[in-house]
Structure 1
Amino acid sequence: MKRTRPERRQGQAVVRGRLVPESTHDQRLLDRQGPADWVHMDPWRVLRIQAEFVEGFGQLAELPPAVTVFGSARTTDDSPDYQMGVALGRRLAEAGYAVITGGGPGAMEAGNKGAAEAGGISVGLGIELPFEQRMNDYVDLGIEFRYFFVRKTMFVKYSCGFITLPGGFGTLDELFEALTLVQTQKVTSFPVVLMGTEYWGGLIDWIKNTLLASGKISAQDLDLIHLTDDVEEAVNIIIESERLRSGISKEEKEVVESHRVEPQ
């Protein structure tokens, strides 16, 4: 009988059994309780954080234009959401985009699978968690991060847009962070697309009827969110945003697209 032991990825390393720590690097960084030895440890943590930035920048710098696909790790492979993720990843790859996900199972796997099967570049940016979540098998380039904020920087820096499939707290976290960055003009011409009108409809209604109605956001902030069930429409939103950012006409963009080499 195969022996099973606890296992966790820590950056580039894998630890098992007794070597698995009781907390993650993020937990230890953010925990201000306990002895004062953190005063001496935190300056050294900066070097590890710096190393993660250097590793991420070095690995991702030469990617072609990329789109990040978010969604729940709990999405089952027999669900409509999973099939939508596969179709989305495939269509993005066909349009010449690399597909970046969190590298895990569920909706993330679906996006990577669609891109890989279409011959595109499939990227996974994983994170150290208290429970193990392995990189899915469809990732061509996988990077494991210790710190969420480093990973989040990579998602934004190397993507020209976010497409969000149905998901939970982690998906909502990435969604609202992206919207905040666009709203505050920290990033520009960065489309945020929600796929699944039935799933996201209640959230959009709450944003309109509560946030907007009480003056917490402006009417134009609603334009930051694109809601659709159509994979082709979602990809076209990304393409159109890229065209506007590059400052070329629609006709010129069509010429570029006609000469783009399709993935093999």
Structure 2
Amino acid sequence: MEIETLDELDDHLASGASLRGLRLQDLDLTGYAEQLAAHGDLTGLVVLGGTVPLGVAELLLARGAIVFPGIADAPVDPWRGLYFATDLYEGLENGYEQTRDAKTYAWFLDARLRTDAYCTLVRAIHDDSVTDELDEFVFGRSVVGIMGGHALQRDSAAYARAAGLGHRLAEEGHLVATGGGPGAMEAANLGALCRSPASLEEALARIAAVPGFRPDITDWARTALAARCAIVGDEPQAPSETLGPSARSLGIPTWFYGHEPPNVFCDVIAKYFSNAIREEGLLARSNAGIVVLEGAAGTVQEIFQAVTPLFYAEAEAPLPPLVLVGREHWTERVPVWPALTAIAVGRPMAEAVHLVDSIEDVLSLLSQPAG
């Protein structure tokens, strides 16, 4: 049982129930020595991060608990979980290189640290914390995953169409989830974040002045943050769980592709060190379907990763649709569709994979949110 707030801890301590098997995650245990001591043997209690004064730590260890201390010398808090865009872009006023996102990518790339056991532990704990909070965030939601290339420019008609798709999906009650990067991913997240077509049109006009993240991520991010502020205001950084029912836009990027900066148009961002965990997490949570816009190598990899569980699915299982958009792109320029149709012969997945000409053909193929 995980306890993530002091209120939960207080209730459990007041109940007199055993602490064995509890995980106290990122809590300030200042002043809790006496209450913890009253429970005697603390074997099986695990304390993960947070603030643990020396006296409390000594008590915990002496009574058999396991204490994972806070992590020093790392640019991320491994117990943090989900991020807001302003968390990752903290320090942008001094240039992108000074942001938390850029510093974390540099730390991740440092050859001296890549195989260091301490840093490996930090990354593993971080990604597990992200997964834990992401599961809570999407629970009970209808999630549509949108995939596509990072090179799509903000001033293009294709970008506007992708943004329009994200907006329509969010209006229908779906949580729009992307890989959280630039291009088609940013467009879908932007569309989902906007509450009206007029707001979306205004945002598209604002960000078109800086069409892509190359060569200057700083200007690209500043323009987007200004547009975000115009959409939602300078909202307080509320705990992510309070955004659950109203969230429309989710990004799941990775520092593995850290040269692609995260887009800011997500209600929350689940950023991972492990690309494998990140990709599987995005696909597995897209329970209402996956839409694939035009892309290259990374998008192709994601298509076949999504196809594998469809291929092996039982006939009785309802399969979320996989919709490829752009007939010429997926049959001629990047001929993925012929391979999909070949392996789908005689399999239940044949009814779940679709190729359409345009974004306008997508909505009717997706699973509809309950209610």
| Superposition TM-score, scaled by structure 1 size | 0.69
Structure 2, unaligned runs of 5 or more: 1-92, 197-246
1:162 partnered with 2:290: yes
Of residues 10, 15, 18, the one that matches 2:103 is: 15
1:61 partnered with 2:189: no
The residue number in structure 1 matching 2:339 is: 207
Structure 1, unaligned runs of 5 or more: 30-36, 244-255
Deviation at 1:130, TM superposition (A): 5.6
Deviation at 1:164, TM superposition (A): 0.5
Deviation at 1:67, TM superposition (A): 0.3
Deviation at 1:102, TM superposition (A): 1.3
CA distance in 1 between counterparts of 2:174 and 2:351 reads 24
Of residues 151, 165, 174, the one that matches 1:97 is: 174
Deviation at 1:78, TM superposition (A): 2.5
Contact 1:9 1:144 in 2 (8 A): no
Per the alignment, do residues 185 and 23 of structure 1 end up closer, same or farther by CA in structure 2, a change over 3 Å counting?
A: same
CA distance in 2 between counterparts of 1:231 and 1:132 reads 28
Contact 2:293 2:324 in 1 (8 A): yes
The residue number in structure 2 matching 1:246 is: none
Greater relative contact order (Cα 8 A, min sep 6): structure 1 or 2?
1
Deviation at 1:173, TM superposition (A): 1.4
Deviation at 1:201, TM superposition (A): 1.8
Q: Which residue identity is paired with 1:72?
A: G
Per the alignment, do residues 204 and 153 of structure 1 end up closer, same or farther by CA in structure 2, a change over 3 Å counting?
A: closer
CA distance in 2 between counterparts of 1:43 and 1:106 reads 32
Within 5 Å, give how 1:13-92 maps onto structure 2.
15=103, 20-21=106-107, 23=109, 28=114, 47-61=125-139, 64-92=141-169
1:177 partnered with 2:305: yes
Alpha-carbon deviations, 1:21-50, whole Å to 9, x = none? 36279x947xxxxxxx76x98678654443
Per the alignment, do residues 193 and 5 of structure 1 end up closer, same or farther by CA in structure 2, a change over 3 Å counting?
A: closer
Contact 1:182 1:188 in 2 (8 A): no
Per the alignment, do residues 132 and 233 of structure 1 end up closer, same or farther by CA in structure 2, a change over 3 Å counting?
A: same
* RMSD of aligned residue pairs (Cα, Å): 3.5
Deviation at 1:141, TM superposition (A): 1.4
Contact 2:253 2:262 in 1 (8 A): yes
CA distance in 2 between counterparts of 1:177 and 1:9 reads 30
CA distance in 2 between counterparts of 1:21 and 1:41 reads 9
Identity rate of aligned residues, in percent?
A: 25
Moved over 6 A (4+): 40-45
Deviation at 1:152, TM superposition (A): 2.2
Contact 2:251 2:270 in 1 (8 A): yes
Alpha-carbon deviations, 1:169-201, whole Å to 9, x = none? 211111111111111118841110011111112
The residue number in structure 2 matching 1:151 is: 278
Q: Which residue identity is paired with 1:207?
A: A
Question: Quick check: which has more Rg, 1 or 2?
Answer: 2
SS at match of 2:250: strand
CA distance in 2 between counterparts of 1:43 and 1:5 reads 27
Alpha-carbon deviations, 1:66-112, whole Å to 9, x = none? 10110111111222321221121121112111111111111011111
Alignment size in residue pairs: 222
Q: Which residue identity is paired with 2:303?
A: L
Contact 1:92 1:115 in 2 (8 A): yes
SS at match of 1:227: strand
Per the alignment, do residues 146 and 7 of structure 1 end up closer, same or farther by CA in structure 2, a change over 3 Å counting?
A: farther
Alpha-carbon deviations, 1:196-228, whole Å to 9, x = none? 1111122156427xx83xxx6635454442111
Per the alignment, do residues 169 and 8 of structure 1 end up closer, same or farther by CA in structure 2, a change over 3 Å counting?
A: farther
The residue number in structure 2 matching 1:237 is: 365
Q: Which residue identity is paired with 1:230?
A: S
The farther-off stretch of 53-62 and 82-91 is 53-62
The residue number in structure 1 matching 2:253 is: 126
Q: Which residue identity is paired with 2:278?
A: R
Contact 1:68 1:159 in 2 (8 A): yes
The residue number in structure 2 matching 1:198 is: 328
SS at match of 2:128: helix
Deviation at 1:146, TM superposition (A): 1.1
CA distance in 2 between counterparts of 1:41 and 1:94 reads 42
Q: Which residue identity is paired with 1:52?
A: V
